[in-house]
């Protein structure tokens, strides 16, 4: 083979390699008869534009310190009463039902100020906050005030959201005979009966099925399902 022909063969080979590489990274075509892999949560973000678009998702614990710090800066006696999240992406796509959320909203109460402070976080950063009156044009009774005294602390719960949703999902399957899908809202509620002084902290998982809402309550201290 002459040197001229050798250079021509090398040039064709390099061009073929470049075309193959472009086909691999473009993702524009799939091989006929071969299913395209569906991106899943936790895969390499650079592998798919769909995966890369997913927001950071966390369980309720991850962003709580920032929420509590903001609440304590608002009122020093601020006490945790509620955390809410869900499994839906901002574009309405249903994400895994695993107890993680792309946004968590926390609510705190200040009996001294007679107000409630609500703060929302995404990716560990505060994106919203507001205050509202605890009692509207009402002089609170002793039992009304007492229901916000001596609440459980956030860290006293034993069951986190991923654990609670596994228990709630099993209960949902028993009730409906099907696996949960679509929108599921997560809510951790912390309260006390002002008359009996009985405290409670539980998860309320609400499964949205067709036009129905199916709630399941899970004790945040014991992990057991609470009957309605």
**DSSP E strands, the chain:** 79-86, 103-110, 115-122, 125-133, 184-192, 199-209, 212-219, 225-226
pLDDT of residue 35: 29
pLDDT of residue 123: 92
Write the CA distances from 37 to 15, 43, 50, 104, 208, integer angstroms.
28, 11, 12, 30, 28
Radius of gyration of the chain (CA): 26
Alpha helices in the chain (DSSP H): 3-26, 49-53, 64-74, 142-146, 161-176
Give the domain ranges of the chain: 1-29, 64-226
Round to whole Å and give the CA distance between 195 and 158. 26
Within 10 Å of residue 66's Cβ, how many Cβ atoms?
Answer: 16
pLDDT of residue 53: 65
pLDDT of residue 23: 38
Closest CA to 158 of 171, 167, 147: 167
Q: What is the pLDDT along the chain (228 residues), one digit of tens a residue?
A: 444 444 433 343 434 433 333 333 333 333 333 223 333 333 333 333 444 567 789 999 999 999 999 999 999 999 999 999 999 998 888 899 999 999 999 999 999 999 999 999 999 999 999 999 999 888 888 888 889 999 999 999 999 999 999 999 999 999 999 999 999 999 999 999 878 889 999 999 999 988 899 999 999 999 999 997
Task: Give the strands of the sheet with 103-110, arranged side by side.
Answer: 125-133, 115-122, 103-110, 79-86, 184-192, 199-209, 212-219, 225-226
């Amino acid at each position: 083979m002459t040197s001229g022909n050798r250079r021509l063969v090398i040039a064709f080979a390099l061009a073929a390699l470049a075309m193959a590489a472009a086909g691999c990274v473009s993702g524009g075509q799939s091989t006929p008869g071969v299913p395209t892999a569906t991106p899943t949560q936790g895969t390499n973000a650079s592998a798919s534009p769909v995966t890369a678009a997913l927001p950071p998702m966390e369980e309720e614990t991850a962003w709580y310190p920032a929420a509590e710090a903001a609440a304590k800066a608002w009122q020093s006696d601020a006490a945790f009463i509620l955390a809410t999240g869900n499994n839906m992406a901002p574009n309405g796509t249903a994400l895994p039902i695993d107890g993680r959320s792309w946004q968590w909203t926390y609510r705190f109460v200040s009996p001294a100020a007679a107000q409630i402070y609500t703060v929302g976080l995404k990716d560990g950063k505060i994106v919203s906050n507001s205050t509202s009156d605890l009692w509207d044009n009402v002089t609170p009774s002793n039992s009304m005030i007492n229901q916000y005294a001596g609440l459980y602390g956030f860290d006293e719960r034993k069951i986190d959201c991923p654990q609670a949703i596994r228990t709630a999902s099993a209960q949902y399957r028993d009730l409906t005979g099907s696996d949960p899908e679509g929108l599921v809202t997560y809510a951790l509620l912390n309260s006390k009966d002002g008359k009996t002084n009985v405290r409670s902290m539980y998860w309320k998982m609400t499964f949205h099925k067709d036009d129905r809402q199916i709630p399941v309550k899970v004790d945040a201290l014991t992990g057991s399902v609470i009957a309605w």
